[in-house]
Amino acid sequence: AQSVTQLGSHVSVSEGALVLLRCNYSSSVPPYLFWYVQYPNQGLQLLLKYTTGATLVKGINGFEAEFKKSETSFHLTKPSAHMSDAAEYFCAVSDGYSTLTFGKGTMLLVSP
Amino acid sequence: DADVTQTPRNRITKTGKRIMLECSQTKGHDRMYWYRQDPGLGLRLIYYSFDVKDINKGEISDGYSVSRQAQAKFSLSLESAIPNQTALYFCATSETGTGTNEQFFGPGTRLTVL
């Protein structure tokens, strides 16, 4: 069985500040990990993914995430928040075969 | 561009009515999924299909049924809609053999059951 925990249903930052969204996972097999973003009234868009190899993964719009096996974490970061980053972010884990399991999401709020 | 489309985008219906939500894709993917999204609960899997002859229940299939009419089409039905089925519904696709199960999502259907 696999599961995802996203710490914090809402995270507020000021424009220009560091963004840190936390994700911890549980998986019985080596996981594949994803971050998706959902802008208002839109579907989910892939931000980045970890499959194998380099543990620091770079995605679109300046986001990156680091896979830490010892901590079972895959936290999402961005050095400097922009107003356009305001959205809901979902972490997901896959065993590579059957289905994706999603976290409950974190709403990122960016203030001027 | 290869895409995942959902119809309708918005639907308001009454309790007891039968509703069908449709999903089409031009990505050529063999796997298709239906999820519902509720505030604070994330996305929960309703049904999924790995090919035309394969249908599997997800974690919350009660009250729903699906039909895979072709590789590119996967519809979700609510036989007798009830208010707690009010939610945002997403269709997604993926391709066997990628090894990761990365999924691609449609724009969603917002369903309101009165």
Task: Name the minimum distance, in Å, from the CA of A54 to any CA of chain B.
Answer: 15
Tens place of pLDDT per residue across chain A (112 aa): 789 999 999 999 999 999 999 999 998 788 899 999 999 888 999 999 998 888 899 999 999 999 999 999 999 999 999 999 999 999 999 887 778 899 999 999 999 9
Interface of A with B (CB under 8 A): 9, 32, 34, 36, 42-46, 49, 51, 90, 94-100, 102-105
Q: CA nearest A50 in B: which residue?
A: B100
Is-contact A77 A63, C-beta < 8 A? yes
Q: At B9, which amino acid appears?
A: R
Give the Cα separation of A5 and B49 in Å (integer): 26
**At A85, phi and psi to the nearest 5?**
-80, -10
Asked if B40 lies within 8 A of A104 by C-beta distance, the reply is yes
Extended strands (E) in A2-99: 3-7, 10-14, 19-26, 32-38, 44-50, 56-58, 64-68, 73-78, 87-94
Instruction: To the nearest 10°, report the CA torsion of A47, B7, B65, B86.
Output: 80
